[in-house]
């Protein structure tokens, strides 16, 4: 791992607050901000334990909480963590680096049934830390758990992602082009990948 997360190194000062305010305005305008949560809710059991990895201001975490799941949201940005606690209460929010995530040290020893990593989060981690992040996610899942990761492929080449997920101990189960499950094609500019822990890596 090298350097700081791209979320900080590739953005300007005040970016976090502007991001939070833009999403708040989108919500006021009635835009749909819960598509990722609907997808995850449809594929997991009621009352599942869910980790929102890179939860930002908590829009997905809160939507899953309202659907009856037990949600832990983790993010490295203190501005967004404060925003999440204020505007999207309900989930447990933790300020932490995904590459070194250890929920047990925060008092959450039970493994998660699902992980959602949306909003290009995996492309904003520190350069070279992608495998460490994926390892942290798979480490916190039950053996039957699922991890759903979405990102723009121009930011993280799929060949590299597929190599990294295998190295981390995941296996690719399915891939789609959008969060509403449009079929994947090589021309798609976005990938939503369904990952499972690889039994051979345990």
Q: Which helix (H) or strand (E) element contains residue 197?
A: strand 190-197
For residues 174 and 155, the answer to whether their CB atoms sit within 8 Å is no
pLDDT in tens, 65-80: 999 999 999 999 999 9
Residue 1 lies in a domain: no
Number of structural domains in the chain:
1
Residue 36 lies in a domain: yes
Residue 158 lies in a domain: yes
> What CATH number is attached to the domain comprising 10?
3.40.50.150
pTM summary value: 0.92
Residue 173 lies in a domain: yes
Residue 72 lies in a domain: yes
Q: What percent of the chain has pLDDT over 70?
A: 93
Q: Which helix (H) or strand (E) element contains residue 73?
A: strand 70-75
Give residue 32's pLDDT band: very low, low, confident or very high (50, 70, 90).
low
pLDDT of residue 28: 66
Please give the Cα distance from 102 to 165 (Å, whole number): 19
Residue 60 lies in a domain: yes
pLDDT in tens, 70-119: 999 999 999 999 999 999 999 999 999 999 999 999 999 999 999 999 98
Containing structural domain, residue 81: 6-201
Please give the Cα distance from 190 to 152 (Å, whole number): 4
Which residues have a Cβ under 8 Å from the Cβ of 162 and sit 6 or more positions away? 172
């Amino acid at each position: 791992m090298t350097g700081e997360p791209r979320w900080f190194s590739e953005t300007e000062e005040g970016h976090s607050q502007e991001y939070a305010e833009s999403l708040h305005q989108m919500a006021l305008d009635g835009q749909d901000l819960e598509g990722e949560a609907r997808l995850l809710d449809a594929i997991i059991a009621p009352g599942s334990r869910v980790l929102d990895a890179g939860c930002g201001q908590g829009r997905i975490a809160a939507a899953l909480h309202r659907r009856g799941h037990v949600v832990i949201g983790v993010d490295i940005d203190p501005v967004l963590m404060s925003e999440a606690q204020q505007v999207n209460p309900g989930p447990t929010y933790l300020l932490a680096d995904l590459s070194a995530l250890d929920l047990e040290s925060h008092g959450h020893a039970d493994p998660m049934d699902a992980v959602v990593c949306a909003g290009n989060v995996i492309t904003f981690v520190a350069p070279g830390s992608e495998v460490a992040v994926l390892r942290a996610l798979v480490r916190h899942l039950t053996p039957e758990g699922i991890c759903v990761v979405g990102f723009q492929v121009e930011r993280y080449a799929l060949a590299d992602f597929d190599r990294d997920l295998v190295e981390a101990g995941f296996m690719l189960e399915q891939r789609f082009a959008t969060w509403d499950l449009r079929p994947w094609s090589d021309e798609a500019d976005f990938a939503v990948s369904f990952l499972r822990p690889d039994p051979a890596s345990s």
